[in-house]
Amino acid sequence: MNQEIRVQGIRFLILILVQVLILHQVNLGDEWLRFAEILIYPMFIMMMPMRWPSSLIILLAFLTGLIVDGFYDTPGVHAGASTLSAFARPLVLQIIAPRAGYDPKQPLTKSMFGMAWYASYAALFLLVHIFIVQLLTVFTFYYWTELLLRLALSWVLSLTLLILVDIIFNPKS
């Protein structure tokens, strides 16, 4: 358990630092890519162990979003999205559950369930998270084309980065 907490703590620090110090500074241009926002910090919420209580996961997700909001100057946007994403995580896991189900002692990694499962999990979880972030950012359906553009671009770029990070740092799994 102590090793698990240590791993999660290190993952949290690295992902938050990358998000607020590097990805927040990325300027994708003045054309249509300006609508994209690359998010890597949801990986922390995704990778939390299944055996942790839901209330702890939701609380940690809220605090993670609050930290990101502090750096992004978006009061409540990332905190709300992270909280709702953590709340939706069991549903996402249920939708893509393997036939044998999940063992709460096993980590939610591609080495345990395969790359196809991991990519599906990451795609669905990020879709939920980024949809909430973009909806709270735009805060209206009046600009639905801009909302869809923001969602699509942010989702594709974030998912690509998330999977690349996992492949680079876990090459054998």
**Domain layout of the chain by residue ranges:** 2-169
Using one digit for the tens of pLDDT, what is the confidence trace for 22-40? 998 887 777 767 778 999 9
Using one digit for the tens of pLDDT, what is the confidence trace for 144-155? 888 899 899 999
Query: Residue 32's pLDDT is what?
Result: 65
Q: What is the dihedral of CA 66, 77, 71, 18, to 10 degrees?
A: 90
Query: Residue 101's pLDDT is what?
Result: 82
Domain 2-169 has CATH 3.40.50: no
d(CA 104, CA 24) in angstroms, rounded, equals 34
Mean pLDDT along residues 53-74? 97
> Within 10 A of 164 (CB to CB), how many other CB atoms are there?
10
| Residues shown for the chain | 173
pTM value is 0.91
Choose the weakest-confidence range: 33-42, 66-75, 125-134: 33-42
3-state percent helix, strand, coil for the chain, nearest multiple of 5: 70, 0, 30
DSSP reduced 3-state for 164: helix
Amino acid at 160: T
- By CB atoms closer than 10 A (0-12, 13-18, 19+), residue 5 is exposed
Mean pLDDT along residues 113-123? 93
* Encoded tokens for 50: 């299944």
CB 82 within 8 A of CB 65: yes
